[in-house]
Structure 1
């Protein structure tokens, strides 16, 4: 995955960053924790500008947040849950997750959208309760913009600072990549085990 992310950024520059961040908000296993620091590292090589990377990543994040929002808003809770019953297993998404996210949204409102963009794992699906509760799209876009901008700025700066010492970059990204791959492996194991359990 690390090589794929690196090659995409190298080949497409800002467009590649935007594309990766778009996919990261739709498909959970693609981590922004790798994308944006790597993009920040390219700034130190003079290939991209710091703010260009941040803007590209934030645009990708915003575009990636919209599909879940609009699908949830259009389908409504009942249809969405029926869809999750059929296909949610591929995204590790359950109806219980939807219920919990809606409870949080009802309790904390827009703050869930804002701070949810800063939390790995939650970031991908935070658009769902906003859509189900028919949060005004301009408000949703505004809070998503603030949260995404803060997150991408932090990760890009981390990559930029580490990029001043290539050895540190390798030491930092290597373990992160290993953790991500380990997490994916554990996810697959848990999913297989749960699927084999008899229905109660």
Structure 2
């Protein structure tokens, strides 16, 4: 069955949609793969950066508005998940523009950060503008990383066409394994309820 899988056809048909949806959530693994696909000519580099930026911006905007609506009621929920709410809240209070820009780059704060920023009552226009700039830089950085990884792999392996599916599966497994390890580690770090 896998030998009949045409990765190029799948990417040309669904690649940008999958990238957009993946970047609504966290998306780093998906974006690295899209950068690699751009290196192979299966996707365009500029559309990869564009759709990743749009997906990342939309996802953060939704979380921001959820945080605005929930307000401080969201804080105990986030704290129970072992997130460094006080540290991020302090960063938002001291340097709101830096917090908005960098939250997508902070380990473990991609989803919680926009909620906290919304709860802190940072203005919507300010958040949108800085969020767009941050999303563009994030998309460009990770897409470039995937593109560069394609160059390195090609210099080691030569033509990557026979290796596309194993590379895809390897990156997905590594990304999934890292996410599993991260969740398990944060679960252990949470204080137990008594």
If the length of structure 1 is used for normalisation, what is the TM-score? 0.72
Which of 158, 165, 174 is the matching residue for 1:178?
Answer: 174
Cα offsets for 1:131-154 (capped at 9, x unmatched): 112211121011111111112101
Which ranges in structure 2 are unaligned for 5 or more consecutive residues? Answer: 1-6
1:134 corresponding residue in structure 2: 121
2:40 corresponding residue in structure 1: 45
1:21 corresponding residue in structure 2: 23
Superposition deviation, residue 175 in structure 1: 7.6
Structural mapping, 1:1-200, within 5 Å: 10=11, 11-24=13-26, 31-32=27-28, 34-77=29-72, 79-81=73-75, 84=77, 92-94=81-83, 97-164=84-151, 165-166=153-154, 174=170, 177-178=173-174, 181-182=177-178, 184-185=180-181, 187-188=183-184, 191=187, 194=190, 197=192, 199=194
Superposition deviation, residue 183 in structure 1: 5.0
Aligned counterparts of 1:140 and 1:102: Cα–Cα separation in 2: 15
Superposition deviation, residue 127 in structure 1: 0.8
Conservation of the 8 A alpha-carbon contact between 1:118 and 1:148: no
Which ranges in structure 1 are unaligned for 5 or more consecutive residues? Answer: 1-5, 25-30
Superposition deviation, residue 155 in structure 1: 1.2
What is the SS of the residue equivalent to 2:105?
Answer: coil
Superposition deviation, residue 162 in structure 1: 2.3
